[in-house]
Amino acid sequence: MENFRPCRIMSKYYIKQLFALLLIIIGQSVKSQENKFYSDAYETIYNMLADKQKYSFKEGVFYVENAYYQGKLDTIELNNKIRFIKNFCNLLLQNRKLTYSEKDEAKVNKYASIYTVMCEATPIILGNDTVRYKPFVYDFEDVFGHKEQSNLFVSKLLITHKGNCNSMPYLYKILAEELGVDANLALAPNHIYIKHNIKSLGWYNTELTSGIFPQDSWLMASGFIHLDAIQNGVFMKALSNKESLALLLVDLANDYNRSFPDNDGSFPLKCAERAIQIHPYLANALLLQADTHKRLFQRIMKEQNTKDIQAVLGNPKAKELYDLMNKEYAHIHKIGYRSMPEDMYLEWLVSLKTERTKYEDNRLQK
């Protein structure tokens, strides 16, 4: 019996160690499962960019948003809502025609139907009653997604009919592709809008947040846009489908940073680098890259418990990160990117309401 006792004690010790090991394995498995959704989204977009998978902007958007929701996005409900809007657009196409007679008439009519559904209150006859369909409206609450990242999402827009300059042009592009036509995203400081190319006008802009069609000159005057940024395609360029997917990679990385704020930077950098390969002057991706290197540098400063930059530059890794971020920020400035302060952007958004009123008054006069 005396020989048996130590075995009992030893057994309890190993059981505790085994239990601790199992907890670690389970914890790692859960963490891996959390990251799996982001990895799947990245792989899906990567495959589209590499022509290994059929292109679909809608699928790319939903993969990104599903990653943030950790697999809980109800894509069936969202697809049903998109199908309803698509059918509504087709109903408009059957019952009205624009006074437009160029060869691309069918395409332009589809653009007009999407604009109507998204931006205009439209009467619908249901039996003996007429109801007014409510359009999507701009949500001035948490414009930048500071409080909740999902306020930037297409899924939130579809559910609430309230969105912003991120979700509204994304939905427009999705609807255009559902109807079999192209729609080009375009960037301005803190802003995304739509560019179209039609035979009668050439390129023209569609601003979903206000429902107007601003000229490039007006955007340049009011949108804090440097001439170098236009020449380099940083702003006001009509993004190709692949460049739009690159923009989704930046969204994916930003969502990842919100989900895992203490990450090691490898995933955001992977997203940024792939996006830059597609669009070398994509400011959102360039900023993501520089900001990630800055965050990693600041982490080293925090670990060394100092606010003195010079004190940590003796660390080779810190020196590398410091040099990288300074080089990257200098490059971003050189190509013409200028940030617009958030309060100035909000003032600009309010000014769009005035432009909307002018647009409606001019249309009524005609």
Q: Which of 27-41, 103-117, 138-152, 309-323 shows the lowest per-residue confidence on average (mean pLDDT)?
A: 27-41
Predicted pLDDT at 54: 97
For 277-306, what is each residue's pLDDT tens digit?
Answer: 999 999 999 999 999 999 999 999 999 999
Q: What is the pLDDT of residue 26?
A: 40
Mean pLDDT for all residues in the chain: 86
Stretch 200-217: mean pLDDT, rounded?
87
| Residues of the chain by 3-state class (helix, strand, coil), percent to 5 | 65, 10, 30
Tens-place pLDDT, residues 221-247: 765 788 899 999 999 999 999 999 999
Q: So what's the pLDDT on residue 134? A: 81
Would you state the pLDDT for residue 217? Answer: 82
Structure tokens at 341: 């302060």
What's the confidence (pLDDT) of residue 170? 98
Enumerate long-range contacts of 220-223, CB under 8 Å, 24 or more apart. Answer: 222/348, 222/351, 223/188, 223/189, 223/191, 223/340, 223/348
Integer Cα distance of 332 and 343 in angstroms:
22
- Measure the CA angle with vertex 184, ends 115 and 169; round to 5°: 50
pLDDT for residue 28 is more than 70: no
End-to-end CA distance of the chain: 104
- The predicted pLDDT at position 11 comes to 53
SS3 236: coil
Token pair 């809980």: residue: 72
Rounded average pLDDT over 148-166 = 95
pLDDT of residue 24 exceeding 70, the answer is no
Q: Residue 260: is it exposed, middle or buried by C-beta count within 10 angstroms (0-12/13-18/19+)?
A: middle
> CA–CA separation, 311 vs 264, rounded Å?
22
Chain position carrying tokens 């050439």 = 202
Give residue 356's pLDDT band: very low, low, confident or very high (50, 70, 90): low
Residue 9 scores a pLDDT above 50: no
pLDDT of 34 strictly over 60 = no
Residue boundaries of the structural domains of the chain: 77-190+201-225
Of residues 11 and 147, the one with the higher pLDDT is 147
Amino acid sitting at position 289 = Q
